[in-house]
Amino acid sequence: MNILVINGPNLNLLGVREPAVYGRTTYAELLDMIRAWAAELDLSVEFFQSNHEGALVDAIQDAPGQYDGILINPAAYTHTSIAIPDALRAVGLPAVEVHLTDITRREPFRRISYTAPACEITYAGLGPEGYKKGLEYLKRRLAGR
């Protein structure tokens, strides 16, 4: 089971970016944590990060045939993008949305997720642990449980 983990804009700056909001875990450390969780779950993971909406759409379009599921933190595009959820629906792979913060308890403009309806489940507000929950969900989902 091969999972594509997609991170959207500014997540490459984790650790230095607004640490009071997003924590001190760096992007590289987050990837190490995800790699370790995936190994425990016997999942293979690959990562894609971009600050560009079209590049995220291209990565989603290229996923079928290479990946069995998608774990995505669309970051700010969560609240603005139609193209990303359209791409997720177009490829039809099981997708999980994750957010480090609880977007339902932040500024009003973050409370709307255009991407969530194209995903099977959302984990928000759990910090990096949300990625672990997402991997666990995909493992169960792909095993048919």
Active site positions, annotated:
22, 99
Question: Which region among 46-54, 57-65, 93-101, 134-142 touches ligand DQA (by CB under 6 A)?
Answer: 93-101
* Contact status: 139 vs ligand DQA (CB under 6 A): no
**DSSP H stretches of helix in the chain:** 19-22, 27-40, 53-62, 83-91, 129-142
* Contact status: 110 vs ligand DQA (CB under 6 A): yes
**Dihedral sign for Cα atoms in the order 106, 108, 111, 113:** negative
* Contact status: 80 vs ligand DQA (CB under 6 A): no
* Contact status: 83 vs ligand DQA (CB under 6 A): no
Name the phi and psi angles at 60, rounded to 5.
Answer: -65, -45
The Cα 41–Cα 45 span in angstroms is 11
One residue of 50, 78, 81, 115 binding ligand DQA per CB under 6 A: 78
* Contact status: 99 vs ligand DQA (CB under 6 A): yes
Rg (the chain; Cα; Å): 14
One residue of 49, 50, 73, 81 binding ligand DQA per CB under 6 A: 73
Please list every residue from 9 through 38 that binds ligand DQA, using CB under 6 A: 10
Stated as kind and residue range, the H or E segment containing 95 is strand 95-99
Residues in touch with ligand DQA (CB under 6 A): 10, 73, 75-76, 78, 99-101, 103, 110
